[in-house]
Chain A
Amino acid sequence: MIQQNLVKVGMADLNIAIEGAVLKTTGLGSCVGLTLFDERSKVAGMAHVMLPSSSIARETSINLAKYADTAIPDLIERMKKAGAVTDRLIAKLAGGAQMFAFATQSEAMRIGPRNVEACKKELTRYSIPILSEDTGGNYGRTIEFSSLSGLLVIRSVQFGVKEI
């Protein structure tokens, strides 16, 4: 792929891309890389969601990008300002792995699957369809999302490159 304008999305961070720019986030473990795309206006958005719900937040000023239930509304808002229309948005998901397997599974250790569930629930609230996903498993992922094609490229150590 030709190296286009790359927009980096950090951990517990979100951003949008237009005009063919590519969104990238690295090292997704139990975090979820959620992408939204409006094909017509070519506006793409990505959030690196770390925790399922902001209801557990103990911080004074909440980082909206960190929680599934706050990141998605915020991302939609940002994309709308760039010209996207909510009704046209489609979603793709990657990540939400369970990096380590333990005999005793506490809820806290199941954070990956819980993040995925929370993202899906929030997307349902906005009636945004999930076109494809590569979630779960026990491995890390790096993802790139093109605002030109809406293609999500997923790289992992074990399985190489995959496009969804």
Chain B
Amino acid sequence: MNNPLDKLEAFKLDVLKEVGNIGAGNAATALSCLLDKPVDMKVPTVSLIPFEQIADKVGGFEQVVVAIFLRVEGDAPGNMFFLIHEDSAKKLLKNLLSIEVQDDASYSEMEFSALSEIGNILAGSYLSSLADFTRLSMSPTVPAIAVDMAGAILSYGLMQYGEMGDSALLIDTKFMEDRESLEGHFFLIPDPDSFDKIFSALGVPTE
């Protein structure tokens, strides 16, 4: 079987962009509420990305990032990442918590827990708006957090694609707090078999 996503029409890509827009829009609003500051987001990009280039958007395979990963379960399963750079993560913690934040590269149990919870809230709002929009059931697993090389982290979300090709379909939305002092990415990587379900739920004809 050929990778059915190789030939996604422009129209379908637009539908997926809207999926990212709705999800990330809600998540950005949630983040804005948490920080009590305006949060902007870019128009989502949807593309079939070769495995080799998956980490390019966040600074390359070896770039150290803070990642919150959760698996999406339900009608349209997939993988979701909330990625931020380390300095952004520290700023987020300082902004949000009245705890002393260590400035070095290490994280306390409390900081990890807080970041996980932020990821949980944002991913939850992303998914629940998406579930409302598509009327599909989508529920996140408990989030897992890691601070490590982007390549090592993201490759984890590609396994479902590994068996059918060397690229994955990624819905990427970049967001930043105003003045760009804080920026991050939402990556939604639906499983290959989830696309038909998403399209048919949205009334897009699938052959």
A residues with CB within 8 A of B: 10-12, 26-31, 50-51, 56-60, 63, 66, 97, 99-104, 108-109, 111, 138-142, 157-158
Which residue of B51, B141, B145, B162 has the most chain A CB atoms within 10 A of its CB atom? B162
Does B195 belong to the interface (CB within 8 Å)? no
- Which of A12, A100, A142 interacts with B146 by CB under 8 Å? A100
- Segment at the A interface, from B32-40, B121-129, B130-138, B149-157: B149-157
B51-67 contact mask (Cβ, 8 Å, vs A): 1 or 0: 11001000011101000
Question: What's the count of A-B pairs with C-beta under 8 Å?
Answer: 102
Q: Is the CB of A60 within 8 A of B166?
A: no
Q: Is the CB of B156 within 8 A of A142?
A: no
Taking the nearest CB of chain B, how far is it from the CB of A12, in angstroms? Answer: 6
Instruction: Report the bound CA distance from A50 to B156 in whole Å.
Output: 10
Instruction: Report the bound CA distance from A63 to B149 in whole Å.
Output: 25
Taking the nearest CB of chain A, how far is it from the CB of B61, in angstroms? Answer: 4
Q: Is the CB of A51 within 8 A of B159?
A: yes
Q: Is the CB of A27 within 8 A of B61?
A: yes
- Which of B69, B144, B147, B149 interacts with A27 by CB under 8 Å? B149
Instruction: Report the bound CA distance from A66 to B107 in whole Å.
Output: 34
Instruction: Report the bound CA distance from A66 to B148 in whole Å.
Output: 23
Instruction: Report the bound CA distance from A99 to B61 in whole Å.
Output: 15
Take A12-B51, A59-B1 as given contacts and tell me if A102 and B151 are in contact as well, using a CB distance cutoff of 8 Å: no
A-B contact pairs, 13 of them (CB 8 A): A12-B162, A26-B60, A26-B61, A26-B149, A27-B62, A27-B155, A29-B151, A30-B155, A50-B51, A60-B1, A99-B152, A108-B160, A109-B71
